[in-house]
Structure 1
Amino acid sequence: MWLAGNSGPFRVHNLEVGSPRASGLRILHISDLHFAPGQKAKQQFLKELADLKPDLVINTGDNLGHKDAINPTLRALEPLLDFPGVFVNGSNDYRAPKPRNPIRYFTGPSKVQAGQALDTDRFMRELVGAGWQDINNKSARLDIRGKSLGFMGLDDPHDHLDDLESLGQQAAEIANADLTIGVAHAPYMRVIDALLENHASLMFAGHTHGGQICLPGQKALVTNCDLPTEFASGLSAWSNDQQEAMLHVSNGLGCSIYQPVRLFCPPSATLITLR
């Protein structure tokens, strides 16, 4: 489908990643819901994702897409809250969206606008109360089906809330996990490099919307950060001189209510099976 928006059509991508010590686990990655009241098709798709029965849900932020989005978003996420999960925030989880000129995205990363402040603390409390782990600038460890998963998380890098200096301590807190996972909303290169340097072997991010407005074949024109466009969506290898990790960047499930169009870049979630 070449044209899509906040009402879909939605897709699920199925991928496999090598991780022998955590083999068999299934991770559902969702991101960038930008949820607003009345988005029934998106809510139904989230319900259908629960039918996949993942072992773990990783949510990489920008869940909220409207000043009145908290209650509808919590209702939409409710079926997935039955599964273990971790989350980080994006800038839209702190402030409601405002109209902006979409042409500016082609001139570099967008500036964070001072929209209406949202009750982010309440939203996070509800997610934590339902059982998900808040990993904004903090670590977590989950034992799932006999596998120990360690998480290093960062608050939104696009909003300059990421505490890279915390990663050393986070890594120490999850030492000896069967799999070390890095999670952030916006995949700025400073963030991906820092997670790799602290021994993440699998990393998750969102923010790019896969490019949102793409050429045929989902060839992204922008990423809204400094990540090269060839990494804007999907699974790829990220390396330095000493090590390599797999990076998954989500297309996301939504977009701003003020720019509700995707071109050659359908909204999607991803189910990753570890092998």
Structure 2
Amino acid sequence: YYAPKPKNPARYLMPKGKKKRIHGEHLPWRDLRAAFVEHGWDDLTHVRRTIEVADQYVFTAGVDDAHLRRDRYADIAGPADRGAAVRIGVTHSPEPRVLDEFAGDGYDLVLAGHTHGGQLRVPGYGALVTNCELDRTRARGASRWGAQMWLHVSAGLGTSPYAPARFACPPEASLLTLVPRGTTSDNHRKAAPRKARNTVR
């Protein structure tokens, strides 16, 4: 939504209550959205949608950027379709308040990004920060959120334009293998490249 603006990288280590949000100029995001939709993308911003994939129905819903508090979960609130093969939520920033809403509505999986995997990680310790309310241990990869829902946070490919480096956090494009609950994933794991393995039941 905003162009980058120079910031002190040390701000990411400051307590959240002591930081004033700094934005650059507004970007033409509506034009970008229109181009994506024109080329076949499904925009899940504040909508619920059922998608047919290989004769299976996937129930999906998404919210706008929760980090900027542009999310309006009330627009998509309500139980996810139990008749679908899988129920997937999408959010840019994995803010716990939004994840709790998805979990409460019965979603199986939420896909998120935003954290860059921590971008700078300390071996044996992990991410220093997530730049959101999510705890450091979930800065990238798959983890459980509650009793039934999975969360997957992609570390992504990019960096902050004013901290253009990664350490112990290689760029990645995630490949998820979704399998029915209660089934083994060994065969799926053997078929996937080592660094792309994430099996979600």
TM-score, length basis structure 1: 0.61
* Secondary structure in 2 matching 1:134: coil
**Matching residue's letter, 1:98:** K
User: Take 2:8 and 2:23, find their aligned partners in 1: how far apart are those partners?
Assistant: 15
Q: Does 1:102 align with 2:18?
A: no
**Matching residue's letter, 2:43:** D
Is the contact between residue 115 and residue 140 of structure 2 (CA under 8 Å) also seen in structure 1? yes
Q: Does 1:124 align with 2:33?
A: yes
Partner of 2:165: 261
Question: 1:180: Cα distance to partner?
Answer: 0.5
User: Take 2:124 and 2:154, find their aligned partners in 1: how far apart are those partners?
Assistant: 16
Is the contact between residue 108 and residue 225 of structure 1 (CA under 8 Å) also seen in structure 2? no
**Matching residue's letter, 2:66:** P
Question: 1:176: Cα distance to partner?
Answer: 2.2
User: Take 1:152 and 1:231, find their aligned partners in 2: how far apart are those partners?
Assistant: 22
Higher relative contact order (CA 8 A, sep 6+): 1
Partner of 1:197: 104
User: Take 1:248 and 1:180, find their aligned partners in 2: how far apart are those partners?
Assistant: 14
Question: 1:111: Cα distance to partner?
Answer: 5.1
Change in CA separation of 1:211 and 1:178 when aligned onto 2, cut-off 3 Å: same
User: Take 2:21 and 2:82, find their aligned partners in 1: how far apart are those partners?
Assistant: 35
Question: 1:208: Cα distance to partner?
Answer: 0.8
User: Take 1:179 and 1:132, find their aligned partners in 2: how far apart are those partners?
Assistant: 19
Change in CA separation of 1:185 and 1:218 when aligned onto 2, cut-off 3 Å: farther
TM-score, length basis structure 2: 0.83
Partner of 1:27: none
Question: 1:102: Cα distance to partner?
Answer: 0.6
Kindly report which structure 2 residues correspond to 1:160-239, keeping only aligned pairs within 5 A, or say none: 160-169=69-78, 171=79, 174=81, 176-217=83-124, 219-239=126-146
Is the contact between residue 188 and residue 225 of structure 1 (CA under 8 Å) also seen in structure 2? yes
Name the structure where strand makes up a greater proportion of residues: 1
Q: Deviations over 1:125-144 (max 9, x none)?
A: 01001111111111222101
Measured on the aligned residues, the alpha-carbon RMSD in Å equals 1.6
Is the contact between residue 108 and residue 224 of structure 1 (CA under 8 Å) also seen in structure 2? no
**Matching residue's letter, 2:107:** A
* Secondary structure in 1 matching 2:160: coil
Is the contact between residue 9 and residue 162 of structure 2 (CA under 8 Å) also seen in structure 1? no
Is the contact between residue 61 and residue 88 of structure 2 (CA under 8 Å) also seen in structure 1? yes
User: Take 2:71 and 2:27, find their aligned partners in 1: how far apart are those partners?
Assistant: 19
**Matching residue's letter, 1:132:** W
Give the alignment partner of residue 24 of structure 2, picking from 107, 115, 127: 115
Partner of 2:193: none
Give the alignment partner of residue 151 of structure 1, picking from 60, 65, 81: 60
Q: Does 1:249 align with 2:170?
A: no
* Secondary structure in 2 matching 1:246: strand
Question: 1:108: Cα distance to partner?
Answer: 4.0
| Percent of matched pairs sharing the same residue | 40
Paired residues in the alignment total: 177
Q: Does 1:134 align with 2:43?
A: yes
Q: Deviations over 1:149-197 (max 9, x none)?
A: 111100000110000212325x46x552211001100111101111111
